[in-house]
Chains A and B, each alone.
Chain A
Amino acid sequence: MIAHALALLLAAGPASAGADEHLLAGAQRFREGRFDEALVEFRVAARLGAAGTDPYIASALVKLERFDEAVELFGGDDAPGPDPLIDYYRALACWGARLYGCADRLLAGIGDRSGPRVAGQAARLRALIAAELRRQPSQSTVDWYRGRCADEKRSGRAALGEAFCREAASLAARRGDGARGGATAATASGDGGGSR
């Protein structure tokens, strides 16, 4: 049904003036918690020529718990961006994809740049990540990340694959077997941990 509506809207022709209306509609749906509809609105706005909509689309994907897609759309990078609010959603995408190192780096970059609520949440999430990462990661954990790295690269999601590779390397380094990581990642059969 949604795809149908999208097709109809796109068939109406390029009307870039309407892109902002779709952004507004997307904002309204997002606010109401209708994230699937917000996602469609943001995508229509993007098709109609609205620039810079990827973070909005990815944020809607985060709320729809489609974390892998969100990480890919956000670019998989974990360097803080100009907007701390978007960085928070990037961190949530990483968290959902179990890229805790990525999430932690993004949350650390938020600091005082955002409002008190998001800053407080970021601090709490960092504490949770720190507690989980306090113990040494198991070999199976590292292998899981390496498998996902190979899987995602093979399936064409380069940014997501790279994010898993970085995570694997970081965890492997903490185990002291970083040198082994590259070779294993390259030859990983890509079981994917059975969670996808």
Chain B
Amino acid sequence: MTLKISAAIAAGLLLAGPVFADDQDQTRTQDPLETKDQTRDRIQLRDPAANGLGTQVKQQAREQAKGEGATGVGDQVRELARDQARDETRTQARDRVREALAEQAGMPADHAALPGDGAGEKAADRHAAQARKTETERAALRHTGRKAAREQMGEGQGTGRGAGGGRGGMMSGSGPGAGDCTQAAETTRGGDMRGTGGMGPGGMR
């Protein structure tokens, strides 16, 4: 009986030996500059029942994301950042528009002239003349645009084709030609009106 008990104790001591040895090793490798908090963290990390700090944060974020009606911290932060960026862009856009409006806030070039009397009729005549001039310019520009497109197409298809090639060029070129021409005419009209007529009723209407 006594022998049996002694053998069990001896076996227990043999099994526990390496464990004590491990503990000694750990004690030896501990950083002498390590703070108390760091030690606690390290111990917590080694505890098989406890997760690491990163794991805990991730776990918390996951739980929050899973909650009903709640979004994760990351989502909330991202949403806030997006809102703020959107507000900034909006404010910036409106500021830019106001700056542009202020920059272009010019004077009308023409005098005030009541319609229905001499001055008004003259103004109306000027306007009609201006409108005719503008229309003529636009027509000329349309023509020029088509002609340019036709010539370009003619060159592209080879000079040997003669008149037939030219006509084909006109047909296929009329789309983009007309578009460019219209835009050019708009630009020209804008520039001309601003330059000669200004904003007043006499030149404009």
Chain A interface (Cβ < 8 Å from any Cβ of B) = 1-2, 17, 20-21, 23-24, 26-28, 30-31, 33-36, 38, 50, 56, 59, 62-65, 67, 85-86, 88-89, 92, 95-98, 100, 115, 117-118, 121, 124-125, 128-129, 131-133, 137-138, 140-145, 171, 193-196
Contact yes or no, A89 B112, CB < 8 A: no
Knowing A64-B190, A95-B112, A194-B124, say if A28 contacts B100 (CB, 8 Å).
yes
CB pairs A–B below 8 angstroms (29 shown): A1-B183, A2-B183, A17-B86, A20-B86, A20-B93, A21-B89, A24-B89, A24-B92, A27-B93, A27-B99, A31-B100, A36-B190, A38-B100, A59-B101, A65-B204, A67-B204, A98-B114, A121-B106, A124-B107, A125-B107, A129-B112, A132-B111, A133-B112, A137-B114, A145-B115, A145-B116, A193-B120, A194-B124, A195-B205
Contact yes or no, A141 B115, CB < 8 A: yes
Chain B interface (Cβ < 8 Å from any Cβ of A) = 86, 89-90, 92-94, 96-108, 111-117, 120, 123-124, 127, 179-180, 182-183, 186-187, 190, 193-194, 197, 199-201, 204-205
Q: Which of B94, B98, B100 gathers most chain A CB within 10 Å?
A: B100
CA distance A190 to B205 in the complex (A): 17
Knowing A96-B205, A194-B124, say if A131 contacts B199 (CB, 8 Å).
no
B94 to chain A, nearest CB (A): 7
Per CB-CB distance, the 8 closest pairs between chain A and chain B, nearest first, are: A141-B116, A140-B116, A27-B96, A23-B93, A144-B116, A132-B112, A30-B100, A31-B100
Specify which chain A residues have a CB less than 8 angstroms from the CB of B111 in the assembled complex: 128, 132
Name B119's closest neighbour in chain A (CB-CB): A132
Q: Which of A34, A63, A86, A171 gathers most chain B CB within 10 Å?
A: A63
Contact yes or no, B97 A193, CB < 8 A: no
Name B97's closest neighbour in chain A (CB-CB): A27
Specify which chain B residues have a CB less than 8 angstroms from the CB of A195 in the assembled complex: 115, 123-124, 127, 205
Contact yes or no, A31 B205, CB < 8 A: no
Contact yes or no, A95 B117, CB < 8 A: no
Contact yes or no, A121 B105, CB < 8 A: yes
Specify which chain A residues have a CB less than 8 angstroms from the CB of B120 in the assembled complex: 98, 141, 144, 193
B137 to chain A, nearest CB (A): 15
Specify which chain B residues have a CB less than 8 angstroms from the CB of A62 in the assembled complex: 199
Specify which chain A residues have a CB less than 8 angstroms from the CB of B199 in the assembled complex: 62, 65, 92, 95-96
Name A118's closest neighbour in chain B (CB-CB): B105
CA distance A17 to B89 in the complex (A): 10
Contact yes or no, A98 B115, CB < 8 A: yes
B196 to chain A, nearest CB (A): 12
CA distance A59 to B199 in the complex (A): 13
Specify which chain B residues have a CB less than 8 angstroms from the CB of A193 in the assembled complex: 115-116, 120, 124
B110 to chain A, nearest CB (A): 9
Contact yes or no, B115 A30, CB < 8 A: no
CA distance A26 to B124 in the complex (A): 32
CA distance A103 to B102 in the complex (A): 18
Q: Which of B92, B113, B190 gathers most chain A CB within 10 Å?
A: B190
Specify which chain A residues have a CB less than 8 angstroms from the CB of B101 in the assembled complex: 30, 56, 59, 85-86, 89
Specify which chain B residues have a CB less than 8 angstroms from the CB of A86 in the assembled complex: 101
Name A42's closest neighbour in chain B (CB-CB): B97
A57 to chain B, nearest CB (A): 11
Name A171's closest neighbour in chain B (CB-CB): B114
Contact yes or no, B179 A1, CB < 8 A: yes
A115 to chain B, nearest CB (A): 7
Name A27's closest neighbour in chain B (CB-CB): B96
Knowing A30-B97, A36-B190, A92-B108, say if A143 contacts B124 (CB, 8 Å).
no
Knowing A85-B102, A89-B105, say if A141 contacts B114 (CB, 8 Å).
yes
Name A26's closest neighbour in chain B (CB-CB): B97
